[in-house]
Structures are given as structure tokens and as C-alpha cells.
Homo-oligomer: A and B are copies of this chain.
Amino acid sequence: MTLDELNQLLQPLFPGLMGVRLTEATPERIVATMQVRADLCTTGRNLHGGAYMAFADTLGAVGTVLNLPPGARTTTIESKTNFLGAAPAGTLVSGESLPLHRGKTTMVWQTRISNEAGKLIAVVMQTQMVLPA
């Protein structure tokens, strides 16, 4: 799948609702950006914790999909986030997801989210189950 096709696929889904935009997607690395719209925020006009997690979950899942054998599917079985900083409304966040483990039954991806100033604002670790064809 090309980057355009992936972004197209996500458009009607939750990542589309949030405005996640993949800018690089290979089996070794996923990169994306997201505009911190007011309707992605919590009180205080900062990105909602849930939006960080949904953004990262998307990247790790896409990364897994690009490593699946033909016909297989994947589902997130667990995800853990440490929040390290804020992202104010009107700015852009970016995320980079890298594989820590790509096995036959599970894959583990780590996503680092940075704010517009380049500061690391969250680290997410997630495990994807590989569901055979």
C-alpha cells in the first residue's frame, strides 16, 4: 500500500476524524502529524490525553499491518503511555513509531510524540497480536 492509499483508508475511520496524517510508512518506521484542533483538547486548551494515545495507537497498528504475512490481521492487546509534556491548541504534534519486536504472534512498537518545539511529550509502548489468516 502506498502512503496515499493508507491515508485514504484511514480517512473515514477514527484517525481520519482526528486528522492524523501519515507522512512516512515503511515496515521499519511510521511517521505522522496531527494538528491540535480545539476539539481534540481537554480543558485548558491542551491536547487531550486520549488523543495522544489514539494517535500513537494508529501508528503502531499501521506499522504492524505493514509487517503482516498475507491475509493476517492485527489487534492491539495492550498499550501504555507516559505523558511528558503538553501540546497547546493550534500547534502540530508529530509521532514516530519504531518496532521493538516483530514476531509471528506479537509485535511491539514504541511511539515517541513530540510537540511543535521538538520536545518529547509522550512515549507509548503497545503490543499487537498477529491474527493468522
Task: Spell out A's residues near B (CB within 8 Å).
Answer: 9, 12-18, 38-44, 48-51, 53-58, 61, 73, 75-84, 86, 100-101, 105-106, 108, 110, 120, 123, 125, 127, 129
Contact = CB atoms under 8 A, between A and B. Distances in A.
22 contacts: A13-B39, A13-B41, A14-B40, A14-B51, A16-B39, A17-B39, A49-B54, A49-B57, A49-B75, A49-B76, A49-B79, A50-B50, A53-B81, A75-B86, A78-B127, A79-B80, A80-B80, A80-B81, A82-B108, A105-B129, A108-B123, A123-B125
Contacts of A129: 105-106
Contacts of A78: 78, 80-83, 127
B54 A50 contact: yes
A57 B48 contact: yes
